Structure 1
Amino acid sequence: MLPGLNGTTHAVFGVAALAGAALVAGADPPAYVYPAAVAAAWLPDVDNPRSTLGNGLSRSKNPILNVLSRPVSWVLRTTSFVLVRTVGHRTLTHSILGSLLFALPVYLFLADYPNLSLALVAGYASHVFADALNTRGVPLLWPVGRPFRLLPGGIKSGGAVEVAVALGALMAALYAILQLNPSLRALLGLV
Protein backbone atom coordinates (compact mmCIF):
# COMPACT_ATOMS: atom_id res chain seq x y z
CA MET A 1 0.00 0.00 0.00
CA LEU A 2 1.27 3.45 -0.84
CA PRO A 3 1.73 5.90 2.03
CA GLY A 4 -1.05 8.08 0.56
CA LEU A 5 -4.64 7.36 -0.32
CA ASN A 6 -5.27 4.51 -2.74
CA GLY A 7 -5.89 4.78 -6.49
CA THR A 8 -9.62 4.10 -6.24
CA THR A 9 -10.06 6.89 -3.71
CA HIS A 10 -8.15 9.27 -5.98
CA ALA A 11 -10.30 8.22 -8.96
CA VAL A 12 -13.48 8.98 -7.00
CA PHE A 13 -12.09 12.35 -5.91
CA GLY A 14 -11.17 13.15 -9.53
CA VAL A 15 -14.72 12.48 -10.74
CA ALA A 16 -16.19 14.40 -7.80
CA ALA A 17 -13.88 17.36 -8.45
CA LEU A 18 -14.80 17.51 -12.12
CA ALA A 19 -18.54 17.22 -11.46
CA GLY A 20 -18.39 19.79 -8.66
CA ALA A 21 -16.26 22.24 -10.64
CA ALA A 22 -18.56 21.88 -13.65
CA LEU A 23 -21.60 22.52 -11.46
CA VAL A 24 -20.03 25.66 -9.98
CA ALA A 25 -18.74 26.89 -13.35
CA GLY A 26 -21.99 26.19 -15.14
CA ALA A 27 -20.19 23.85 -17.53
CA ASP A 28 -21.64 20.67 -18.96
CA PRO A 29 -18.75 18.24 -19.43
CA PRO A 30 -19.41 15.30 -21.73
CA ALA A 31 -19.04 11.81 -20.29
CA TYR A 32 -15.81 11.17 -22.22
CA VAL A 33 -13.83 13.71 -20.15
CA TYR A 34 -14.45 11.93 -16.83
CA PRO A 35 -11.73 9.32 -17.53
CA ALA A 36 -9.33 12.23 -18.12
CA ALA A 37 -10.18 13.52 -14.62
CA VAL A 38 -9.41 10.07 -13.21
CA ALA A 39 -6.06 9.87 -15.02
CA ALA A 40 -5.18 13.39 -13.86
CA ALA A 41 -6.15 12.43 -10.30
CA TRP A 42 -3.53 9.67 -10.46
CA LEU A 43 -0.87 11.86 -12.07
CA PRO A 44 0.69 13.49 -8.97
CA ASP A 45 1.79 10.03 -7.80
CA VAL A 46 3.80 9.51 -10.99
CA ASP A 47 6.75 10.39 -8.72
CA ASN A 48 6.33 6.97 -7.06
CA PRO A 49 7.35 3.95 -9.15
CA ARG A 50 4.79 1.78 -7.29
CA SER A 51 1.85 4.06 -8.09
CA THR A 52 -0.86 3.41 -10.69
CA LEU A 53 0.84 5.55 -13.36
CA GLY A 54 4.41 5.42 -12.07
CA ASN A 55 4.42 1.67 -12.63
CA GLY A 56 3.47 2.20 -16.27
CA LEU A 57 0.59 0.83 -18.28
CA SER A 58 2.10 -2.28 -19.89
CA ARG A 59 0.45 -4.78 -17.59
CA SER A 60 -2.53 -5.68 -19.74
CA LYS A 61 -3.02 -9.33 -20.58
CA ASN A 62 -4.02 -8.23 -24.06
CA PRO A 63 -0.85 -8.21 -26.22
CA ILE A 64 -2.26 -5.63 -28.65
CA LEU A 65 -3.09 -3.19 -25.85
CA ASN A 66 0.33 -3.89 -24.36
CA VAL A 67 2.09 -2.91 -27.59
CA LEU A 68 -0.08 0.21 -28.01
CA SER A 69 0.47 1.37 -24.43
CA ARG A 70 4.20 0.59 -24.32
CA PRO A 71 5.42 4.09 -25.43
CA VAL A 72 3.21 5.86 -22.88
CA SER A 73 4.23 3.30 -20.25
CA TRP A 74 7.90 3.93 -20.98
CA VAL A 75 7.42 7.70 -20.61
CA LEU A 76 5.53 7.25 -17.31
CA ARG A 77 8.16 4.88 -15.88
CA THR A 78 11.02 7.15 -16.96
CA THR A 79 9.28 10.20 -15.49
CA SER A 80 8.66 8.29 -12.28
CA PHE A 81 12.29 7.20 -12.06
CA VAL A 82 13.61 10.73 -12.69
CA LEU A 83 11.21 12.36 -10.20
CA VAL A 84 11.77 9.89 -7.38
CA ARG A 85 15.56 10.15 -7.82
CA THR A 86 15.68 13.96 -8.07
CA VAL A 87 12.95 15.40 -5.84
CA GLY A 88 11.46 12.32 -4.16
CA HIS A 89 7.89 11.23 -3.64
CA ARG A 90 5.18 13.65 -2.54
CA THR A 91 7.20 16.80 -3.10
CA LEU A 92 6.97 18.82 -6.32
CA THR A 93 3.96 17.00 -7.75
CA HIS A 94 1.96 17.53 -4.55
CA SER A 95 2.64 21.27 -4.23
CA ILE A 96 1.14 24.50 -5.51
CA LEU A 97 4.16 24.85 -7.80
CA GLY A 98 3.59 21.38 -9.25
CA SER A 99 -0.11 22.10 -9.72
CA LEU A 100 0.72 25.31 -11.59
CA LEU A 101 3.35 23.56 -13.71
CA PHE A 102 0.65 21.05 -14.67
CA ALA A 103 -2.17 23.56 -15.22
CA LEU A 104 -0.20 26.04 -17.33
CA PRO A 105 0.49 23.76 -20.31
CA VAL A 106 -3.04 22.34 -20.04
CA TYR A 107 -4.50 25.80 -20.52
CA LEU A 108 -1.91 26.80 -23.14
CA PHE A 109 -2.30 23.72 -25.33
CA LEU A 110 -5.89 22.71 -24.62
CA ALA A 111 -7.57 26.12 -24.50
CA ASP A 112 -9.87 25.09 -27.36
CA TYR A 113 -11.11 22.17 -25.25
CA PRO A 114 -12.45 23.77 -22.06
CA ASN A 115 -14.18 20.61 -20.79
CA LEU A 116 -11.01 18.56 -21.14
CA SER A 117 -8.97 21.34 -19.50
CA LEU A 118 -11.41 21.49 -16.60
CA ALA A 119 -11.28 17.70 -16.23
CA LEU A 120 -7.49 17.58 -16.15
CA VAL A 121 -6.99 20.47 -13.75
CA ALA A 122 -9.84 19.42 -11.44
CA GLY A 123 -8.56 15.84 -11.37
CA TYR A 124 -4.99 16.90 -10.58
CA ALA A 125 -6.10 19.35 -7.88
CA SER A 126 -8.36 16.69 -6.34
CA HIS A 127 -5.33 14.49 -5.72
CA VAL A 128 -3.49 17.22 -3.85
CA PHE A 129 -6.65 17.99 -1.85
CA ALA A 130 -7.25 14.31 -1.04
CA ASP A 131 -3.66 13.78 0.08
CA ALA A 132 -3.96 16.87 2.30
CA LEU A 133 -6.55 14.81 4.21
CA ASN A 134 -3.96 12.06 4.77
CA THR A 135 -1.78 11.66 7.86
CA ARG A 136 1.32 12.75 5.90
CA GLY A 137 -0.30 15.84 4.40
CA VAL A 138 1.17 17.60 1.36
CA PRO A 139 4.02 20.09 0.94
CA LEU A 140 1.90 22.87 -0.56
CA LEU A 141 4.77 25.38 -0.43
CA TRP A 142 7.44 22.93 -1.59
CA PRO A 143 10.44 23.29 -1.55
CA VAL A 144 10.01 25.28 1.66
CA GLY A 145 7.75 24.75 4.61
CA ARG A 146 6.19 21.81 6.33
CA PRO A 147 3.53 19.43 5.07
CA PHE A 148 0.00 20.82 5.21
CA ARG A 149 -2.92 18.73 6.51
CA LEU A 150 -6.58 19.68 6.23
CA LEU A 151 -7.46 17.60 9.30
CA PRO A 152 -5.54 17.42 12.57
CA GLY A 153 -3.81 14.06 12.56
CA GLY A 154 -5.17 13.25 9.10
CA ILE A 155 -6.84 10.12 7.76
CA LYS A 156 -4.92 6.85 7.78
CA SER A 157 -4.53 5.33 4.33
CA GLY A 158 -6.30 2.06 3.72
CA GLY A 159 -8.55 2.24 6.75
CA ALA A 160 -12.30 2.38 7.25
CA VAL A 161 -12.19 6.16 7.50
CA GLU A 162 -10.64 6.40 4.02
CA VAL A 163 -13.46 4.21 2.69
CA ALA A 164 -16.04 6.45 4.39
CA VAL A 165 -14.43 9.60 2.94
CA ALA A 166 -14.33 8.00 -0.52
CA LEU A 167 -18.02 7.07 -0.21
CA GLY A 168 -18.79 10.67 0.79
CA ALA A 169 -16.91 11.92 -2.28
CA LEU A 170 -18.80 9.40 -4.41
CA MET A 171 -22.13 10.69 -3.06
CA ALA A 172 -21.07 14.27 -3.81
CA ALA A 173 -20.04 13.22 -7.34
CA LEU A 174 -23.35 11.48 -7.97
CA TYR A 175 -25.29 14.48 -6.68
CA ALA A 176 -23.35 16.87 -8.91
CA ILE A 177 -23.66 14.59 -11.96
CA LEU A 178 -27.41 14.35 -11.41
CA GLN A 179 -27.64 18.14 -11.12
CA LEU A 180 -25.67 18.52 -14.36
CA ASN A 181 -27.86 16.05 -16.26
CA PRO A 182 -31.63 16.65 -16.00
CA SER A 183 -32.27 13.89 -18.56
CA LEU A 184 -30.46 11.40 -16.31
CA ARG A 185 -32.60 12.53 -13.35
CA ALA A 186 -35.71 12.02 -15.48
CA LEU A 187 -34.51 8.59 -16.62
CA LEU A 188 -34.04 7.57 -12.99
CA GLY A 189 -37.40 9.05 -12.02
CA LEU A 190 -35.85 11.70 -9.78
CA VAL A 191 -37.59 14.73 -11.33
Structure 2
Amino acid sequence: MTTTTHQRAGLVFGVVTQQYLIAHLYSHANAASQLFIITLYCTATIIGSTLPDIDLKNSQIGSLFPVTSTFISTHFKHRTLTHSLLSIFLFLLLLSYAPYLNIGQDFYTLLITGLLVEHSSHIFLDLLTTQGVCLFYPWKKKIRIANFKTGAKGEGVINGILFLTLFTYLLIKLSPYYE
Protein backbone atom coordinates (compact mmCIF):
# COMPACT_ATOMS: atom_id res chain seq x y z
CA MET A 1 0.00 0.00 0.00
CA THR A 2 1.09 3.57 -0.56
CA THR A 3 1.88 6.09 2.17
CA THR A 4 -1.38 7.91 1.44
CA THR A 5 -3.45 4.77 2.03
CA HIS A 6 -1.59 3.99 5.24
CA GLN A 7 -2.03 7.56 6.50
CA ARG A 8 -5.73 7.60 5.64
CA ALA A 9 -6.14 4.29 7.47
CA GLY A 10 -4.21 5.84 10.36
CA LEU A 11 -6.68 8.69 10.58
CA VAL A 12 -9.71 6.41 10.26
CA PHE A 13 -8.52 3.96 12.91
CA GLY A 14 -7.38 6.84 15.13
CA VAL A 15 -10.75 8.56 15.06
CA VAL A 16 -12.68 5.33 15.51
CA THR A 17 -10.51 3.78 18.26
CA GLN A 18 -9.91 6.86 20.38
CA GLN A 19 -13.21 6.51 22.22
CA TYR A 20 -12.39 2.92 23.15
CA LEU A 21 -8.68 3.18 23.90
CA ILE A 22 -7.99 6.64 25.30
CA ALA A 23 -11.33 8.09 26.39
CA HIS A 24 -10.44 7.45 30.05
CA LEU A 25 -7.56 9.94 29.66
CA TYR A 26 -9.86 12.84 28.85
CA SER A 27 -13.23 11.94 30.33
CA HIS A 28 -13.03 14.74 32.94
CA ALA A 29 -11.22 17.30 30.77
CA ASN A 30 -12.75 20.46 29.33
CA ALA A 31 -13.64 20.64 25.63
CA ALA A 32 -10.37 22.29 24.57
CA SER A 33 -8.31 19.66 26.40
CA GLN A 34 -10.39 16.86 24.92
CA LEU A 35 -9.83 18.24 21.41
CA PHE A 36 -6.09 18.53 22.07
CA ILE A 37 -5.83 14.94 23.38
CA ILE A 38 -7.84 13.48 20.48
CA THR A 39 -5.76 15.48 17.98
CA LEU A 40 -2.53 14.29 19.59
CA TYR A 41 -3.74 10.68 19.51
CA CYS A 42 -4.78 10.93 15.85
CA THR A 43 -1.39 12.47 15.02
CA ALA A 44 0.31 9.51 16.72
CA THR A 45 -1.85 7.12 14.70
CA ILE A 46 -0.94 8.83 11.42
CA ILE A 47 2.77 8.64 12.31
CA GLY A 48 2.37 5.04 13.46
CA SER A 49 0.70 4.17 10.18
CA THR A 50 3.94 4.89 8.30
CA LEU A 51 6.39 3.62 10.95
CA PRO A 52 6.81 0.05 9.62
CA ASP A 53 8.23 1.50 6.39
CA ILE A 54 11.22 2.87 8.27
CA ASP A 55 12.95 -0.17 6.77
CA LEU A 56 12.95 1.73 3.45
CA LYS A 57 15.45 4.60 3.23
CA ASN A 58 13.40 6.41 0.57
CA SER A 59 10.09 6.18 2.45
CA GLN A 60 8.54 9.26 4.05
CA ILE A 61 9.37 8.09 7.57
CA GLY A 62 12.78 6.82 6.45
CA SER A 63 13.73 10.26 5.13
CA LEU A 64 12.73 11.82 8.48
CA PHE A 65 14.99 9.43 10.40
CA PRO A 66 17.80 8.61 7.93
CA VAL A 67 20.27 7.15 10.44
CA THR A 68 17.69 4.79 11.94
CA SER A 69 16.32 3.90 8.52
CA THR A 70 19.77 3.16 7.14
CA PHE A 71 20.59 0.94 10.11
CA ILE A 72 17.32 -1.01 9.87
CA SER A 73 17.39 -1.35 6.07
CA THR A 74 21.01 -2.56 6.23
CA HIS A 75 20.19 -5.33 8.69
CA PHE A 76 16.63 -6.29 7.70
CA LYS A 77 14.79 -6.70 4.41
CA HIS A 78 11.61 -4.74 3.72
CA ARG A 79 8.46 -6.21 5.27
CA THR A 80 10.31 -8.45 7.71
CA LEU A 81 11.05 -7.27 11.27
CA THR A 82 9.11 -3.98 11.12
CA HIS A 83 6.08 -5.71 9.59
CA SER A 84 5.91 -8.60 12.07
CA LEU A 85 4.10 -9.59 15.24
CA LEU A 86 7.48 -9.21 16.95
CA SER A 87 7.39 -5.46 16.26
CA ILE A 88 3.87 -5.26 17.71
CA PHE A 89 5.11 -7.13 20.79
CA LEU A 90 7.87 -4.53 21.18
CA PHE A 91 5.23 -1.75 21.23
CA LEU A 92 3.24 -3.68 23.84
CA LEU A 93 6.43 -3.98 25.87
CA LEU A 94 6.91 -0.19 25.63
CA LEU A 95 3.30 0.33 26.67
CA SER A 96 3.78 -1.89 29.72
CA TYR A 97 6.33 0.60 31.09
CA ALA A 98 3.74 3.41 31.38
CA PRO A 99 2.78 2.64 35.02
CA TYR A 100 6.43 3.00 36.07
CA LEU A 101 6.87 6.52 34.72
CA ASN A 102 6.84 9.36 37.24
CA ILE A 103 5.91 12.07 34.75
CA GLY A 104 3.83 12.04 31.62
CA GLN A 105 2.30 8.60 32.12
CA ASP A 106 -0.96 9.53 30.32
CA PHE A 107 0.93 11.30 27.55
CA TYR A 108 3.20 8.28 27.09
CA THR A 109 0.21 5.91 27.05
CA LEU A 110 -1.55 8.10 24.49
CA LEU A 111 1.41 8.17 22.11
CA ILE A 112 2.38 4.51 22.40
CA THR A 113 -1.25 3.37 22.02
CA GLY A 114 -1.64 5.50 18.89
CA LEU A 115 1.60 4.18 17.42
CA LEU A 116 0.67 0.59 18.30
CA VAL A 117 -2.82 0.73 16.78
CA GLU A 118 -1.57 2.11 13.53
CA HIS A 119 1.56 0.05 13.33
CA SER A 120 -0.84 -2.90 13.46
CA SER A 121 -3.13 -1.43 10.79
CA HIS A 122 -0.14 -0.90 8.50
CA ILE A 123 0.80 -4.55 8.81
CA PHE A 124 -2.82 -5.60 8.18
CA LEU A 125 -3.04 -3.45 5.04
CA ASP A 126 0.24 -4.88 3.74
CA LEU A 127 -1.13 -8.39 4.32
CA LEU A 128 -3.67 -7.48 1.62
CA THR A 129 -0.95 -6.91 -1.01
CA THR A 130 0.66 -9.38 -3.40
CA GLN A 131 4.01 -8.91 -1.61
CA GLY A 132 2.66 -9.92 1.81
CA VAL A 133 4.67 -9.59 5.04
CA CYS A 134 6.87 -11.80 7.24
CA LEU A 135 4.24 -11.76 9.97
CA PHE A 136 6.04 -14.34 12.10
CA TYR A 137 9.55 -12.94 11.64
CA PRO A 138 12.25 -14.28 12.08
CA TRP A 139 10.46 -17.01 10.13
CA LYS A 140 10.95 -15.61 6.63
CA LYS A 141 7.79 -16.96 4.99
CA LYS A 142 5.75 -14.04 3.63
CA ILE A 143 2.03 -14.22 4.33
CA ARG A 144 -0.73 -12.49 2.40
CA ILE A 145 -4.50 -12.66 2.62
CA ALA A 146 -5.35 -10.88 -0.65
CA ASN A 147 -3.70 -9.87 -3.93
CA PHE A 148 -3.98 -6.09 -4.16
CA LYS A 149 -1.14 -4.41 -6.03
CA THR A 150 0.37 -1.33 -4.41
CA GLY A 151 -0.87 1.80 -6.19
CA ALA A 152 -3.32 -0.08 -8.44
CA LYS A 153 -7.10 0.25 -8.76
CA GLY A 154 -7.77 -2.15 -5.90
CA GLU A 155 -5.89 0.12 -3.55
CA GLY A 156 -8.04 2.99 -4.82
CA VAL A 157 -11.11 1.03 -3.77
CA ILE A 158 -9.60 0.52 -0.29
CA ASN A 159 -8.87 4.26 -0.13
CA GLY A 160 -12.48 5.01 -1.08
CA ILE A 161 -13.79 2.65 1.61
CA LEU A 162 -11.53 4.32 4.19
CA PHE A 163 -12.79 7.76 3.18
CA LEU A 164 -16.44 6.69 3.32
CA THR A 165 -15.85 5.04 6.70
CA LEU A 166 -14.36 8.23 8.10
CA PHE A 167 -17.09 10.42 6.61
CA THR A 168 -19.89 8.15 7.89
CA TYR A 169 -18.36 7.82 11.34
CA LEU A 170 -17.95 11.59 11.70
CA LEU A 171 -21.47 12.18 10.40
CA ILE A 172 -22.88 9.80 13.00
CA LYS A 173 -20.75 11.20 15.83
CA LEU A 174 -21.55 14.84 15.00
CA SER A 175 -25.27 14.36 14.33
CA PRO A 176 -26.35 14.89 17.99
CA TYR A 177 -24.81 18.38 17.85
CA TYR A 178 -27.11 19.41 15.00
CA GLU A 179 -30.42 18.28 16.46
Query: In which range does the TM-score fall when normalised by the shorter chain?
Result: 0.7 to 0.9
Name the counterpart of 2:133. 138
Q: Distance in 1 between matches of 2:140 and 2:93?
A: 23
Is the CA contact 1:83–1:89 (under 8 Å) kept in the aligned structure 2? no
Q: Does 1:11 align with 2:7?
A: yes
TM-score by length of 1: 0.74
2:78 to 57, 73, 89: 89
Name the counterpart of 1:80. 69
Name the counterpart of 2:55. 47
How far does the alpha carbon of each residue in 1:131-165 deviate from its partner, in whole angstroms, 9 at most, with x for none? 111111111101115211122xx100111110110
Name the counterpart of 1:31. 39
| Larger RCO (alpha carbons 8 Å, 6+ apart) | 1
> Could you tell which deviates more after superposition, 26-35 or 42-51?
26-35
**Tell me, which stretches of 5 or more residues in structure 1 are unaligned?**
57-75
Task: Give me the identity figure in percent.
Answer: 27
1:96-111 equivalences in 2 (<5 Å)? 96-109=85-98, 111=105
Cα 1:169–1:123 shift into 2, 3 Å: same
Report the AA paired with residue 175 of structure 2. Answer: R
Is the CA contact 2:18–2:41 (under 8 Å) kept in the aligned structure 1? no
1:102-121 equivalences in 2 (<5 Å)? 102-109=91-98, 111-113=105-107, 114-121=109-116
Q: Distance in 1 between matches of 2:160 and 2:96?
A: 31
**Residue 186 of structure 1, CA deviation:** 4.2
TM-score by length of 2: 0.78
**Tell me, which stretches of 5 or more residues in structure 2 are unaligned?**
27-36, 99-103
Flag the structure with higher helix content. 2
Q: Distance in 2 between matches of 1:149 and 1:174?
A: 28
